[in-house]
Structure 1
Amino acid sequence: MPEQGMVIRGGAVVTAHEIKEADIWISDGKIVRIAKDTLPKATGTTVFEEVDASGMYLLPGFIAMPTPSLYKRKEGQTYIEVMREWVRSGCTSFVDVLQLEPWMSRPQLEYQQTRHFNSPLDYAWHLGMEAAQLEGRTVARYRELGFSSFHVTIRSPEEISSIQWETLWQLSASKQTIVHLHIQNDASVKQEQRDLIRQLWLDATKYWKVRTVIADSSAAFASREFDPFLHIFRLPAETTDRAVRYMYQRFYDSCPVASPLQEVRIDCRRRWCPPEMLLCLLVRLASTNIAKAIGLYPQKGSLTPGADADIVFLKKENWLTKYDLSTILNFSETHLPTSVMSNGKWMYRNAQFHLSIGMGRRIFDTKPNVYVI
């Protein structure tokens, strides 16, 4: 019996750098071809359902990074409502941070992960830890359990000097690991200390060639202070407008900045770039760059052959005609997509949800050290 596939015709495919008219062919949840052609809708092994996307932009699915961690939400209906809001705004996958506690044995750690067994979206786990836990044996042990990204909380400059950087360098190179810096965000850490922690971290990771994501934008636009391959900056909402303008001015340069869609805010009181170009920049910042930083690219964050068929359908007329209506443009609030697809299955179509509990998969094989951003 022939397999069921899908061909999406008539849409404009949006990538991080361009928009092109093309058809998207999908089989077994993957994109198998992107081209403007008239191939038959049936082959010897696959029958392709045809979907009309005329007047639509086709974007790669966005990636949510919830704060605080979603796995701590115990009420089932609340969990599903959060998922629905993500889908409705164009998110097709997410990353959650599991905080490592001293009492957690391996079975307890695995039990904490069962929360997302009900997830309708694909997801990846990151592991959160204190600076004292960031040592070679611990990282190697959890790397074998499928964790490749480690979120480390630093409270003082002295903690950075106590980290076993030589061991981390070896693991970063051989095991494809990445470290996320989080500076303790409370009154106990003064601004001078925050600046010193950030600078010491930049210096140490640059010297030891450890790839890192820094949840602090202070150095993101000072190219002399960071290595564009090793250092990636996760931006807060207040700096995303500057980041998008920065990328527009250096359109084909490496810009190692990323921000989840829910945190993107763009000031559009004056039109400073063509609206379609802005859409490309938005895809780069909130989809492609995040996927590269966390090791999901090109499986996520791209519309290319071999990638998961995670596709957001956005009406052109909404984007082009309502672009200037808000002084602060937030895609997920102002320009909601018409339909959202994940792994070739409809999650949201014509304002109706079709997501199923438990259809999401955990993604294990992440490689955060592969791509320049």
Structure 2
Amino acid sequence: MSQQGMVIRGGTIVTSHGIKQADIWISQGKIIRIAKDTLLKTTKTTSFYEIDATDMYLLPGFVAMPDQSLYKIRELEPYIDAIRSLVRMGCTSLVETFYPDRWMNRSQINFQQTQHFNSLVDYNWHVGLDASELRGQEICEWNRRGYSAIHISIRSAEEISSLNWETISGLHTSYKTILHLHIPTETFSKKEQRDLIVQRWLEATSYWKLRTVLPDPAFLFDAKEYDPYYHIFRLNKEWTARAMRHMYRQWFDTWPVAAPLHEVRCDYRRRWCTPEELLCVLVRLSSTNVAKAVGLYPQKGCLTLGADADIVFLKKENWLTKQDLSTILNFSEIFLPTSVMSNGKWIYRNDEFLPTIGMGRCLRDSKPYTYVI
């Protein structure tokens, strides 16, 4: 019995560094061919039907990293609404950070995570720990369970000095994990205290060669302060506009920055690039770079052979034509997609949500230590 596939014809593929005209062939939820050709619609094992994407941009799905934990939403309808709001922005993957309590055993942890069994999009788990819980045995156990990223809450610079960096470094090297620095916002009222924590963290991770994600990009523009491979900066609303202009000016340079789509603000009032170039920078910042930082690339964050068929369809006539360009663009309020596809299946089309609840997969084999950003 032949399988059902699809070919998307006539679209303009948007990558992190440019655009191209090509058709996308999809089978079993994966991209199997990208080319402008006239292959037969049917092979020995797969029959293809065509989708017309004329006058549309085709973007890789964005990777969401919400500030509020969605797994804590216990009622089904509010949970589904929260996921749908992400889909409506163009997000086809979700990265969720789980903060366990001390009393939880493995069964209780699994129970806390069951809400994502209803997910409409693929999801990946991180774990959040306080600095006092960052012991060798604790890290090893979480790594064995498949958590490749650990968010560490630091409340004082002294906590960084008290960590057993030698043990952390050994486990970090063995499991190829990544550390995320988290500074609770309610802890400090002075910027100097926060800067001191980031400075000490940069020094420690540089010495021990540990790959890490930092929340404060103030050190980005001082090349002596960070290592471009080991240090990745998650941008917030205050920095994304400046970072996007820098990425445009240094088009082909690597730059270790990433920002989830809901954080992106862009001052486009002076038209510092073309609309298509702006779209490429947006894909690079909020899709490709985020996927690399969390270890989902190239399965997510790009449209290439072997990648999941997560595709955002955007009408060319809608891009920047229905927004007030006299103000700063807020991409969490701009609903980009005309349609959204996840793993080769429609989840949003013609202003309707089409997914089956629970179709999202848990992505455990992430490799956040692999790619230069």
Q: Scaled by the length of structure 2, what TM-score is found?
A: 0.97
**Is the CA contact 2:88–2:335 (under 8 Å) kept in the aligned structure 1?**
no
**Is the CA contact 2:7–2:49 (under 8 Å) kept in the aligned structure 1?**
yes
Instruction: Return the alpha-carbon distance in structure 2 between the equivalents of residues 201 and 320 of structure 1.
Output: 40
Q: 1:299 to 1:162 in 2, by over 3 A?
A: same
Deviation readout 1:306-326 (Å, 9 max, x if unpaired):
000000000111115446635
Offset, 1:221? 2.5
Instruction: Return the alpha-carbon distance in structure 2 between the equivalents of residues 30 and 226 of structure 1.
Output: 37
Offset, 1:332? 4.1
| Gap regions ≥5 residues in structure 2 | none
Instruction: Return the alpha-carbon distance in structure 2 between the equivalents of residues 104 and 256 of structure 1.
Output: 35
Instruction: Return the alpha-carbon distance in structure 2 between the equivalents of residues 174 and 45 of structure 1.
Output: 41
Specify the alignment match of 1:370 in structure 2. Answer: 370
**Is the CA contact 2:188–2:194 (under 8 Å) kept in the aligned structure 1?**
no
Specify the alignment match of 1:278 in structure 2. Answer: 278
Deviation readout 1:18-38 (Å, 9 max, x if unpaired):
100000000000000111111
State yes or no: 1:66 paired with 2:69.
no
Instruction: Return the alpha-carbon distance in structure 2 between the equivalents of residues 313 and 158 of structure 1.
Output: 49
Specify the alignment match of 2:130 in structure 1. Answer: 130
Specify the alignment match of 2:343 in structure 1. Answer: 343
Mapping for residues 1-373 of structure 1, pairs under 5 Å: 1-186=1-186, 188=188, 190-319=190-319, 321-322=321-322, 325-373=325-373
Instruction: Return the alpha-carbon distance in structure 1 between the equivalents of residues 324 and 210 of structure 2.
Output: 42
Q: 1:191 to 1:330 in 2, by over 3 A?
A: closer
Deviation readout 1:82-101 (Å, 9 max, x if unpaired):
11111111000101110022
Q: 1:340 to 1:308 in 2, by over 3 A?
A: same
Instruction: Return the alpha-carbon distance in structure 2 between the equivalents of residues 359 and 335 of structure 1.
Output: 23
Offset, 1:176? 1.4
Instruction: Return the alpha-carbon distance in structure 2 between the equivalents of residues 255 and 53 of structure 1.
Output: 32
Offset, 1:329? 1.4
- AA at the equivalent of 2:290: I
- AA at the equivalent of 1:70: L
Question: Over the residues paired in the alignment, what is the CA RMSD in angstroms?
Answer: 1.3
Instruction: Return the alpha-carbon distance in structure 2 between the equivalents of residues 224 and 92 of structure 1.
Output: 36
Offset, 1:184? 2.1
Q: 1:232 to 1:7 in 2, by over 3 A?
A: same
How many residues of Structure 1 are paired with residues of Structure 2 in the alignment?
373
Instruction: Return the alpha-carbon distance in structure 2 between the equivalents of residues 215 and 69 of structure 1.
Output: 18
**Is the CA contact 2:89–2:334 (under 8 Å) kept in the aligned structure 1?**
no
SS of the aligned residue for 2:196 comes to helix
Instruction: Return the alpha-carbon distance in structure 1 between the equivalents of residues 224 and 348 of structure 2.
Output: 44
SS of the aligned residue for 2:366 comes to coil
SS of the aligned residue for 2:63 comes to strand
**Is the CA contact 2:4–2:48 (under 8 Å) kept in the aligned structure 1?**
yes
Q: 1:225 to 1:188 in 2, by over 3 A?
A: closer
Instruction: Return the alpha-carbon distance in structure 1 between the equivalents of residues 221 and 78 of structure 2.
Output: 38
Instruction: Return the alpha-carbon distance in structure 1 between the equivalents of residues 90 and 259 of structure 2.
Output: 14
Instruction: Return the alpha-carbon distance in structure 1 between the equivalents of residues 161 and 187 of structure 2.
Output: 23
- Comparing 57-66 and 216-225, the one that deviates more: 216-225
**Is the CA contact 2:33–2:305 (under 8 Å) kept in the aligned structure 1?**
yes
SS of the aligned residue for 1:161 comes to helix
**Sequence identity (%):** 62
Instruction: Return the alpha-carbon distance in structure 1 between the equivalents of residues 180 and 228 of structure 2.
Output: 15
Instruction: Return the alpha-carbon distance in structure 1 between the equivalents of residues 191 and 324 of structure 2.
Output: 37
**Is the CA contact 1:4–1:46 (under 8 Å) kept in the aligned structure 2?**
yes
Offset, 1:187? 5.1
Instruction: Return the alpha-carbon distance in structure 2 between the equivalents of residues 90 and 272 of structure 1.
Output: 24
**Is the CA contact 1:268–1:324 (under 8 Å) kept in the aligned structure 2?**
no
